[in-house]
Amino acid sequence: MTTPENQEELLRRKADQVRNRLLDVVDELDRRRHELTDHPADLVVSRIPQKVWIGAAVAGALLVVSVTGATIAAVRRKNKRVLYIKRAPPPPSFAGDVVSRAGRALATMLLVQLGKRAFDEVAARTRLTSIRR
């Protein structure tokens, strides 16, 4: 004759066995579902070309450098105004102005070219027309 503790233990074992079998069935069903739904075409990694990422990094670096330079120049101008209120600020040097404008022109040309290349790559993949003239 079994005692209530033995009956409870037997019921627990039986429940554990049933639970384990159900978990095995669920695991198998889940594995089969993944076999049916996970195709290599669905698991595509980013198709953005590496050139676009490099172009974006260069553009970001140029933006940071230009904003930092403009901020430093603004602070210097402000400090000069505070120190020399009666004196007019000296005109910017010709060489500095030429270098600044040339740098901005070069950065603009670089960004335009990178943008055109990126658009052409996307256009080629999606069969759009090119904007190049």
- The pLDDT tens digits for 68-106 are 988 888 887 776 655 555 666 677 788 888 888 999 999
Predicted confidence (pLDDT) at residue 26 exceeds the cutoff of 60: yes
Is 131 within the bounds of a domain? Answer: no
Same domain, residue pair 10 and 73: no
Helices (H) and strands (E) counted in the chain, each on its own, are 3, 0
pLDDT score at 50: 77
Same domain, residue pair 74 and 106: yes
Residues 31, 37: Cα–Cα separation, whole Å: 10
Mean pLDDT to the nearest integer, 35-53 = 69
Predicted confidence (pLDDT) at residue 132 exceeds the cutoff of 70: no
Structural domain including 90 reads 50-126
Same domain, residue pair 85 and 122: yes
Closest by CA to 112, choosing from 97, 133, 129, 98, is 133
Per the structure, how many domains does the chain have? 2
In sequence order, what E strands does 1-133 have? Answer: none
To 5 degrees, how large is the angle CA 4–CA 5–CA 11?
85
Q: Bigger pLDDT: 22 or 92? A: 22
